Amino acid sequence: MPSPINTDSLKKAEASAELAKSMINQAIQQSAANPQLAEEALKQASSEIAQAQTVVSQVQSAIQTQQSQQQQAQQPSK
């Protein structure tokens, strides 16, 4: 029986993506008035996006490993 996808990890990735979106919006709003603040917001957004990507990659890897193990278990013994 397949184990469920780690939804807690995906929720963390989703939160990071939402935070990144907020930071990008802040950078857009601040771009003319305060370029330094906009740059800092973009750095934070980049960090959040990287974190979300790492979590999603980890979940994908776990799924692929699980699928591989299931395929091996289904193959007849030689």
pLDDT tens by residue, 3-62: 678 899 999 999 999 999 999 999 999 999 999 999 999 999 999 999 999 999 999 999
Q: Is residue 63 part of a domain?
A: yes
- Residue 62 within any structural domain of the chain: yes
Task: Return d(Cα 32, Cα 15) in angstroms, integer.
Answer: 27
Structural domain including 13 reads: 7-73
- The answer to whether position 61 is within a domain reads yes
The DSSP code for 75 is S
Residue 78 lies in a domain: no
Q: Residue 60 falls within a domain, yes or no?
A: yes
Domain total of the chain: 1
